[in-house]
Amino acid sequence: LGISAGSFADMLLHLVLPTMMLSLLSLAGWSRFMRSSMLEVLRQDYVRTARAKGLRERSVIMKHAARNALIPLITIVVFEIPGIFGGAIITETIFNYPGMGRLFIQALSSDDWPIVMAYLFISAILVVIATLVGDILYTIVDPRIRFA
């Protein structure tokens, strides 16, 4: 391929498998959950009413069904975002990739408690930020929800 070792292109090439490992596991569950949520929403009365009014099928699905099906999915995705960073611990260990997860494991094994506490603090901040993003997404998806 003409890529020299240590170059930016080489680093991107070596990120393919870890990225796929972290994303595909969550993506499969999210897509199954979205499908079941969408099938449940499509049976609701307001979707039938929108179809009876003569709206196009695309409009019914995108404006009425998908917005309501996204609400439970947002909840799941928001609370799995910090879990993805926790999964990075395993991924970085398997692929021998230097990152925060591997630093955390090394700090645990060498009793380096300030690094462990810093990692847990960053994880707690991620949970708070993910929850805030989830609340903002709720107001975008569902117009009935307002900020107080």
Residue 148 inside a domain? The answer is: no
| Structural domains in the chain (count) | 1
Domain span holding position 79: 8-141
Residue 19 inside a domain? The answer is: yes
Q: What is the pLDDT of residues 33-73, one digit of tens each?
A: 999 999 999 999 999 999 999 999 999 999 889 989 999 99
Tell me how far CA of residue 16 lies from CA of 94, 96, 102, in angstroms: 14, 14, 18
The burial class, CB within 10 Å (0-12 / 13-18 / 19+), for 33 is: middle
Q: What is the mean pLDDT of residues 110-114?
A: 96
What's the pTM value of the predicted model, to 2 decimals?
0.75
Q: What is the pLDDT of residues 66-89, one digit of tens each?
A: 989 999 999 999 988 888 777 788
- So what's the pLDDT on residue 1? 60
Task: Give the whole-number percent of the chain exceeding pLDDT 70.
Answer: 99
* pLDDT value at 107 more than 90: yes
Residue 3 inside a domain? The answer is: no
Residue 146 inside a domain? The answer is: no
Closest CA to 76 of 32, 125, 124: 32
- So what's the pLDDT on residue 25? 80
